[in-house]
Amino acid sequence: MESVRIPLLGEKVPSFTAKTTHGVINFPDDFKGKWIVLFSHPADFTPVCTTEFVAFQKRFEEFEKLNVQLIGLSIDQVFSHIKWVEWIKEKLGVEIKFPIIADDLGEIAKKFGMIHPGKGTNTVRAVFVIDPEGVLRAILYYPQEAGRNMDEILRLVKALQVADKHKVALPANWPNNELIGDNVIIPPASDEKTAKERLERAARKEIGCYDWWFCYKKIE
């Protein structure tokens, strides 16, 4: 397999036109102004992938509230996608409301590094979180044998949106961090004056600090 450079965090994602279960899309232009969660699955009509699509759809409204467009992808043909979606609705009572890209030639998968030769010829379980400007903000890779945790993907998008809005960082397991709970981390001071001011603010209980380089606060 030829070597292809995948997009890196902070870069614009590759553009492409593709067939989907909702018609042809121009990516990412058709979704400008929205966050995008682009995710690949190994194949239609497989058990783990089916559970993942149901799990994504069960959280569809939560993603919508965050202004997120879900988009699935595999190297199956669009006819397979359509039949699989019909099967999920008929047998499981769940209507998949987001588009699924038919990347039957694997060209999009190559652009995003979704095919890992050591794991076979199908796409692995990749997740790409893209912001409203088309910039890649997060990448997650899972093997074929382990399904994804959609609550973590939701949490990740929320964390990125909070970080952007408030210019802060988010601790481990936010909003349930073991040290600071649902507080957010104030970027470390970059000079002595700011470091001193941080400790003074902490003394006045305006913010919390373990030290000048580890300060945190509540957000509304």
Q: Where are the domains of the chain?
A: 16-149, 167-220
The verdict on whether 49 is a catalytic residue reads yes
Residues 61-70 pLDDT 10s: 999 999 999 9
Quick one: average pLDDT of 17-43? 96
Over the chain, what is the mean pLDDT? 94
Phi, psi of 107 (to 5 degrees): -70, -40
> For residues 157 and 128, is the Cβ–Cβ distance under 8 A?
no
Residue 1: per-residue pLDDT: 44
At residue 95 the predicted structure's pLDDT band, cuts being 50, 70 and 90, is: very high
Instruction: Evaluate if residue 47 carries a pLDDT over 90.
Output: yes
pLDDT (0 to 100) of residue 143? 87
CATH topology of domain 167-220: Antioxidant, Horf6; Chain A, domain 2 (3.30.1020)
Residues 7-23 have pLDDT tens digits of 999 999 999 999 999 99
What pLDDT does 3 receive? 56
Partners of residue 20 on adjacent β-strands = 101
Residue of 13, 18, 37, 49 with catalytic role: 49
* pLDDT over 70 at 4, yes or no: no
Can you tell me whether residue 7 is helix, strand or coil?
coil
Mean pLDDT of 47-63: 97
Q: What pLDDT is recorded for position 177?
A: 97
- At 211, which helix (H) or strand (E)? strand 208-211
Residue 157 has pLDDT above 70, yes or no: yes
Chain center to CA of 77 = 24
Per the CB < 8 A criterion, the answer to whether 53 and 67 are in contact is: no
Q: What CATH number is given for 16-149 in this structure?
A: 3.40.30.10
Spatial CA neighbour of 23 closest among 119, 112, 102: 102
At residue 144 the predicted structure's pLDDT band, cuts being 50, 70 and 90, is: confident
* Residues 6+ away with beta carbon under 8 Å from 42: 48, 49, 74, 120, 122, 123, 124, 125, 144
